[in-house]
Structure 1
Amino acid sequence: MVASAPRALGLGGPGAFTALLLLLPAPWALHAVQTPAPPACGKPQQLNRIVGGEDSVDAEWPWVVSLRKNGSHHCAGSLLTSRWVVTAAHCFKGHLNKPSDFSVLLGAWQLGNPGPRAQEVGIAWAHPHPVYSWRDATQADIALVRLERPVQFSERVLPICLPDASVKLPPDTDCWIAGWGSVHDGVALSHPQTLQKLKVPIIDPEVCGRLYWRGAGQGAITEDMLCAGYLEGERDACLGDSGGPLMCQVEGTWLLAGIISWGEGCAERNRPGVYISLNAHKSWV
């Protein structure tokens, strides 16, 4: 995984899958009724390339999905509920009115070998943030995707949590990205296309603002953006990672802190990855 504008990448945490909730009926009922409880978000159950990244473990990031266009991996995304995925708005440029061109693959650790437990679902429609501009393609680069039908939760398909407004991510907080994007600029992830992961520290917004300063009073980093990665380069998200998650673990739960949006090149020096902040758009989501 490496980062670019727009990006694509290949990018983990223990947890427990919520068991069935046993609802006890009235004393005179003959049988107890079992109803599946919704799974806890942000709690993967461990089973026994992003530029500079490493292979993830099967079911390590059960909310990371592959957004496919005409049958091929196009962007990444994150599962929020059984019917909703969040990704980058720019992934639908020129195709917003063609939902039949897209599908979402869930539960696939290796795109080249998704396995029988993977689920592929069509999309009903995609809704970019109303502030997003197709021309500028930067601020509010976030879109919600409605699936054609609910997905079945399993140890490989679980939702991620949205951050509470109280959650703060100070500089140097270690978070993770994951995806199936290029491993170098112009170099695709090789077969079997195993999901890549990469630890990235949060970068001080003032530092990132100076790095991407365009002069004449024009700053490329807006208030709804986060920067994360390494100033020396070499490790980053890249083409194909767009729309994937920036994930931070808080008190044992994985939160969706940001969405992979853009950058200049992949893993270039002083050009860290830029992410759309979920906290900035949580009320819209």
Structure 2
Amino acid sequence: MKLQDYVKYLVCIFVVNFGTTYCNKRIIVPSLRSIDDQIASRHERSVLDLLFGRFRTCGACLCGRPNRKATRLLGGEYTESHEFPWLANIHVKSNLISGVLINDRYVMTAASEIIGATAPEIKISLGEYDRCTLDISSVNVSVESIILHPEFNPDSHTHDLALIRLSRPTKFEKRISPVCLPNPGSTYLGQVGTLVGWTTNKSEDNMDTCRPRKLGLPILGYNECIKSGINPMNFNDDYGCIGVVGTSSLVCENDIGSSVQYRSYTGVYDLIGIIPNVNKCDNVTRPTVFTRVGPHLDWILQNTKDACYCTK
């Protein structure tokens, strides 16, 4: 057994008290390219992140677990009640946008929708499902500070990401828990992504929606995005796209801040994208563009050191 294998084993022993790290020989001897090895490698990354202090855990909580055991995606169907417990409603002055809870103190959304707003002008609702019905079980939280991505460009809308720091830590329960951050270096190309949020169905006249919807669409590569109608002059490495080749975008202007997620075969959701302010609600053939979260992991972790994360 190599020295690095012993180190990995000792790391597993060190964090076993957290109760969420899966440590066994599959991590120590990664020789088989099986599904179990893929699970082990993901946990290994979490262990190493813990060891080197990239983030601290909130205890035994788990991220990315929906409140629905099985999911069947139709064309923009409504979600089950609190199916995605990380969804957040963000009240910005008189506007209402979407966001996602990523740990106990921060909600992520699109920077373009909160630029110019101050912390007192923003309120966050967690555990809310039906926007049109008073829900006394939801939690309303004030905002302490706003962190826009330092490279956010309000003209081109590149790096259209923002972190909103809540005024107090979030108490996790069935209706309120965080989504997982994406795996480092993963592109998720060729996988089915899940677009989730209080998105509008273009076939409806009413542009407001009460309950969140979900829609499964393939995650496309750069060449497919360009062939599908996206102008290459407006598409950069910061973006990804999701959709069916030959169809128009399925999101509208008021879907900004909604999330693109990936559901693993084990049912765990990773946050892979945030909808920026670049998509148009028209019948022009082009897929939906999203800001990729993966390339911004360092920025996210650097600016959320005061928060704790749930593990995969």
Q: Which TM-score applies when normalising by structure 1?
A: 0.76
Matching residue within 40, 61, 65 for 2:88: 65
Q: Are 1:91 and 2:113 matched, yes or no?
A: yes
Could you report, residue by residue, the CA deviation over 1:125-160 in whole angstroms, capped at 9, with x for unpaired residues?
111110111232x21111111011112211111100
Query: Which of these residues, 14, 17, 42, is aligned with residue 64 of structure 2?
Result: 42
Rounded Cα–Cα distance in structure 2 between residues aligned with 1:158 and 1:231: 34
1:153-192 equivalent positions in 2, closer than 5 A: 153-171=172-190, 173-184=191-202, 187-190=206-209
For 1:233 and 1:266, the matched residues in 2 are separated by 12
More relative contact order, 1 or 2 (CA 8 Å, 6+ apart): 1
Secondary structure of the equivalent of 2:262? strand
240-249 or 225-234: which moved more? 225-234
* Aligned partner of residue 76 in structure 1, secondary structure: strand
Most deviating of 161-170 and 144-153: 161-170
- Flag the structure with higher helix content: 2
1:98-247 aligned within 5 A: 98-136=118-156, 138-171=157-190, 173-184=191-202, 187-190=206-209, 193-210=210-227, 211-213=229-231, 219-233=233-247, 236-247=250-261
Question: How many angstroms apart in 2 are the aligned matches of 1:267 and 1:196?
Answer: 19
Per-residue Cα deviation, 1:61-85 (whole angstroms, up to 9, x for no partner):
1111111123652x11110111111
Kindly report the root-mean-square deviation, in angstroms, between the aligned alpha carbons of the 2 structures: 2.5
Percent of counterpart pairs with the same letter?
A: 24
Q: Which moved more, 1:255-264 or 1:120-129?
A: 255-264
Unaligned 5+ residue runs, structure 2? 1-17, 20-57, 70-74, 301-312
Q: Deviations over 1:75-124 (max 9, x none)?
A: 111101111111111011332xx211111111111111252221111111
Moved over 3 A (4+): 231-235
Tell me the amino acid that sits aligned with residue 183 of structure 1: N
TM-score (norm 2): 0.70
Unpaired runs of at least 5, structure 1: 1-19, 22-35
Aligned length: 238
Contact 1:231 1:269 in 2 (8 A): no
